[in-house]
Amino acid sequence: MSTAREVPRTARARADDRLHATWIALAAGTMIALSLGVHLAVLRAAGGVGPATARAWAGPYLLGLCLAFLTGGGIVGWFSPGNTFKEAAASGGAAVTLLAAVSLVAGRGRGIEAILLAAFAGLVLALIGGWLGEWLKGKTR
């Protein structure tokens, strides 16, 4: 038998378990904007695209992309009242899908293996960012 006190808590928990499209879109937009910013910054610093510059700038480029996805997931984890892990996964998946589409349309696609690896890495990094944001929110609030 449930008490009157348990009913509001259960209703609140169900309401907070929803996915918030606003936070998903904001985090995906952040991931995309930061990823494109990293791409443009590396291109500008390297002075163009070529095999030698691609190898020389691979480390900073990948670090920047990792930080972009961690930041987007962290935004969801910190600010969203909903199910932050599902929202972080959805935003990471949306960002990777859009970035892969842009890469393929621009003729810079590296094949299905690279796209699947990027999708997996983006999803995992967004989830880690969501977990970190949720953890920090619990520590500070």
* pLDDT tens digits, 94-132: 999 898 888 788 776 667 787 788 889 989 999 999 999
Q: Would you say residue 6 lies in a domain?
A: no
* pLDDT tens digits, 41-70: 888 888 777 767 777 788 888 899 999 999
Number of domains comprising the chain: 1
Please tell me the distance from the alpha carbon of residue 91 to that of residue 115, in angstroms, as a whole number: 16
Q: Would you say residue 36 lies in a domain?
A: yes
* pLDDT tens digits, 26-43: 999 999 999 999 988 888
Q: Would you say residue 53 lies in a domain?
A: yes
Tell me which residue range forms the domain holding 40: 21-140
Q: Would you say residue 43 lies in a domain?
A: yes
User: What number is the average pLDDT over the span 1-29?
Assistant: 67
Please tell me the distance from the alpha carbon of residue 85 to that of residue 42, in angstroms, as a whole number: 30
pTM of the model: 0.78
Measured in Å, how far apart are the chain's first and last C-alpha atoms?
33
Please tell me the distance from the alpha carbon of residue 126 to that of residue 89, in angstroms, as a whole number: 6
- Give Cα 48 distance to the centre of its chain: 27
